[in-house]
Structure 1
């Protein structure tokens, strides 16, 4: 087989979570032939063990596990990690779990039966997209604390504090979406920009971002039906209608 892997891809660590041993072996062998390091897990316990042992660069997760919910495993991943996730789903008509998974923060999906070359292409695309986004953020955004309209967001710990001092929990999707807004205050952000920022796949119907916006408004707005912070700009997108103060990390002493 001709190997077209680049130095960027070589030895990236991929974790396959699937209770089908034959599927794990097939994917693992193919990815190893293309210079990826591969681990596999049949269930949540094995997934946790692999994640605890060291860096995982991408997870391939089958949503249709026999004894466990793939959606629950995705929620667990998103609560503890920003690792990119590609979902494997069984049928095109099985939309509900796929869309929920994407809204929870999965980066892409592939339908069974699939061509291994397509899976490889999707892995490469997600890794490159994630690397580009992280590099850009590292270069442009050195701040770790943001204040707006009495709220405070600490990016390192993902802690959001309300004006009255309450700690407000954020999902990974909430955090990514809010961060997109506070890094572009008083600027109109299109649904497409917000879909990318919140890690949703491009093929998802763009109204799915409206669901995420509603969830975020319920946490930020006194009256979500009459939003004053995250406002709708008809025909264009959404905007954070507040000024933002950013603080950089304190220098080490």
Structure 2
């Protein structure tokens, strides 16, 4: 049987490598799990998770149940059809019935809505040992001397690698936004084109949501990579990626 890692920062650094974890919500755990060696993709909702799983498999899904308004049981049961997929739910501790619903439906574990990161990593490590087959290969962070001078989208656009070598997992909306800008660097992408990439109901989309998305993305990039994302707002037009 595989031995648990020693409880030191060095031993824990790659405790979850190579494990692919798809997360719905709870972006605050993305970076900590990456530090444990996991490959992490964050998504905005269950529909986005289903679309991604249809294209790229993963080892574990981590779902913030606050984003599942209805049908938690059916969601878990649907995911449980994949024998090689682990299912972990983040649940409000004040709703024990929600915990019971998830476990009865087949979830492997239910943790607090804002879990202790070390406890979460330990739970995922334990689950990993019970999963059949071999976890997919993790995306390796650039080591010293291997950093790039360019910004890059990787893993089908789900990861953003900074010149520092740090990698940021993107949400579905961030991926759609950056994919357009990276496809035409140093060109202004109009708001109408950006909105069309972000929603299938552009007539009801509030354009200010793009500004919010860009603001949050810039802050996340700066926090994770210590680099400034080279995106410029072009007044009255849209946004431009300057590489």
TM-score by length of 2: 0.46
Q: TM-score, normalised by structure 1?
A: 0.44
